[in-house]
């Protein structure tokens, strides 16, 4: 999947489209995305993942217009964090009772 969204794929998108990547950073060719943002081909981008994390200063998306970058935290809305803490609590209690939850052998 590396470079799946490259310059060719971006060229096929509707002018002014928005690109959102919350999957894997390497899926998107960052240089091609930055170019599309600089030229106005794309109206904007939001990326929660980058090819190298944390994104180095050399990442072309850092200087691209209309680009929102978040540090790989898109999963962390309030509901997700509550669910995570509930699962941690359940697993800790099960461990103290000598039970195994969510075990993969």
Which residues are designated catalytic? Answer: 24, 53, 72
DSSP H or E segment with residue 11: helix 7-11
Q: How far apart are CA 5 and CA 25, in angstroms?
A: 10
Q: How far apart are CA 91 and CA 105, in angstroms?
A: 16
User: Residue 13 burial by CB count (10 A; 0-12/13-18/19+): exposed, middle or buried?
Assistant: middle
């Amino acid at each position: 999947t590396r470079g799946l969204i490259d310059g060719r794929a971006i060229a096929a998108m509707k002018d002014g489209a928005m690109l959102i990547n919350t999957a894997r950073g390497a899926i998107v060719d960052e240089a091609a995305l930055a170019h599309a943002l600089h030229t106005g081909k794309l109206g904007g981008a939001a990326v929660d993942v980058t090819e190298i994390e944390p994104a180095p200063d050399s990442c072309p998306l850092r200087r691209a217009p209309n680009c929102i970058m978040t540090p790989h935290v898109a999963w962390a809305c309030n509901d997700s964090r509550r669910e995570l803490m509930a699962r941690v609590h359940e697993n800790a209690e099960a461990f103290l009772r000598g039970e195994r939850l969510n075990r993969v052998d």
